[in-house]
Structure 1
Amino acid sequence: MKENTENFPQGACIETIRYMDARPENLAHHNLRMNRTRQDLFGSEDFVDLGELIRIPDMLPSHVYKCRVTYTHQIVAVEWEPYQRRVIRSLQVVHNETIDYTYKYRQRHDLEKIYSQKKKHDDVLIVRNGYLTDAYVCNIALLKGDKWLTPALPLLKGTQRELLLEQDKIYEADIHLDNLPDFTHIRLFNAMMPWRDAIELPVRQIFH
């Protein structure tokens, strides 16, 4: 699951954009997060539009591709690869009180260390100070009655998460690990796995 971080500047960040039939999805939220990060971390004051900078390869096949944009104050690299959906059937709870992933750094050694603690399961459910946050590379939402609730303090505010909040498909809440039995299902989603393609599991597939 490790990404190559060689030959990239220290502290570089990424945006991972889903392209379906050579068309980007949710580009507005990627632009907002990238430019906010450029301002916060690198002091940039201009607004960069990824739609104007990304050059789509000729004859890009008509299925889902992952476009990874690496940047600091400027775009460093744009990489393309076919998207392969992960298979996740169970989650291992991992407690970590110090993890901080406010910004989407390309280098994510701390997350990789947490992911290595998944034991025999497919992914991790990261708990910080007793509260649910995220899976390894996905935001989460849990079903209670007829509402999907997402942690109010995730490790990373994903672009798909922001879109779903705007659309009132999910709602923020503080979700303590002790309250997990109050929920029936959990969904994992991110930019490459939008809500319609999210992985859904019964909460009984979460292991402590």
Structure 2
Amino acid sequence: MLKFIESIKVLNGDTPDINEHLQRVIRTIQYFYSKSNEKFDFISCVYTVLERERDKISDGLFKLRVVYSDRFISGTLIPYIPKRIKRLKLVESDDIEYPFKYENRTAIDSLLSYKDKCDDILIVKNGVITDTSYSNIVFERMGNLYTPDSYLLAGTKRAKLIREGLIREEKIRPCDIDKYDKAYLINSMLDLYPVEALEF
């Protein structure tokens, strides 16, 4: 059975980006389970988990990891501390596919063996920049923010920032990286987390 995950930011008991996650869950279920009679209320399931842990999450930053298929499977809350990601290693993989947030990340995780002494990888597919192993990437040039139009996964934070006009999509190749001043990681838990270096 295919399983999917959503990693939801819970800040001081609130879920500020829950609607972005809901839209992705709806797209996933419609694609894989359009003929299924099994339906579940994603929002209600999330808030049931939060209510169960209400006393623990009233203060601070937590990650709610939801596992689902055509039904809710589990929800786990843990305190969130960002990984220390300072250096990215560019790794090429023309076969990599991750259009949905599958629980099985074997294809991506297998590429981590090539990161050498870096903290994470930045995947290059068919000659263009895509994502890191767990986030989308944003580049800054002259105060403007850009994200690759060749992403692997349409991240929730990425979608929100594009909709709000804070970042723009453009084609970014490895040879273009020097044109940018800074690089940042974004995902449901990270808001423009700075990267210090990219290694080829």
Instruction: Please report the TM-score for the alignment, with normalisation by the length of structure 2.
Output: 0.92
Q: Hey, what's the Cα distance between the residues in 1 that align with 2:163 and 2:147? A: 13
2:29 to 23, 38, 61: 38
Determine the structure 2 residue equivalent to 1:110: 107
| Residue equivalent to 1:157 | 154
Pick from 55, 59, 79: which aligns with 1:59?
55
- Bigger Cα displacement from structure 2, 64-73 vs 47-56: 47-56
Match for 2:186 among 177, 185, 189? Answer: 189
Structure-2 separation of matches of 1:26 and 1:75 = 19
For 1:166 and 1:45, locate their aligned partners in 2 and report how far apart those are by CA, in whole Å.
Answer: 33
Aligned equivalent of 2:5, options 14, 30, 35: 14
Report the Cα offset of residue 25 of structure 1.
Answer: 2.1
TM-fit CA distance, 1:147: 1.2
> Is the partner of 1:68 in helix, strand or coil?
strand
Deviations along 1:127-174, one digit per CA (max 9) or x if unpaired, are 001100001101001112221110112010000000000111100001
User: Which residue identity does 1:27 align to in structure 2?
Assistant: I
- Note if contact 1:31-1:48 (Cα within 8 Å) is conserved in structure 2: no
| Alignment counterpart, residue 94 of structure 2, candidates 81, 94, 97 | 97
**Normalised TM-score (structure 1):** 0.88
* Structure 2 CA distance for partners of 1:60 and 1:47, relative to 1, 3 Å: same
Q: What is the one-letter code of the residue matched to 2:30?
A: Q
Matched, 1:201 2:170: no
Q: Determine if contact 2:38/2:71 at 8 Å carries over to the other structure.
A: no
Q: Which moved more, 1:44-53 or 1:150-159?
A: 44-53
Q: Which residue in the other structure is 2:167 paired with? A: 170
Residues 177 and 76 (structure 1 numbering): CA distance in 2 closer, same or farther, change over 3 Å? same
CA offsets 1:10-50 (integer angstroms, 9 cap, x no match): 32001110001111121111000001101101225887543
Shift of 1:201: 2.5
* Structure 2, unpaired ranges of 5+: none
Task: Find the aligned partners of 1:141 and 1:154 in 2 and give their Cα distance.
Answer: 11
Identity across the alignment (%):
27
Aligned equivalent of 2:15? 24
The one-letter code matched in structure 1 to 2:193 is: I
Match of 1:71 in 2: 68
- Cα 1:128–1:112 shift into 2, 3 Å: same
Partner Cα separation in structure 2 for residue 132 and residue 58 of structure 1: 40
Q: Is the 8 A contact 1:150 1:173 kept in 2?
A: yes
Do the aligned residues in 2 keep the contact of 1:134 with 1:154 (CA within 8 Å)? yes
Structure with more strand by fraction: 2
SS across alignment from 2:54:
coil
Once superposed, what is the RMSD of the aligned Cα atoms?
1.6
1:124 equivalent in alignment to 2:121: yes
Residue 82 of structure 1 deviates from its aligned partner by: 1.1
Q: What is the letter of the counterpart of residue 181 of structure 2? A: T
Gaps of 5+ in 1: 1-9
1:87-107 per-position Cα deviation (integer Å, ceiling 9, x unaligned): 011110000000000000011
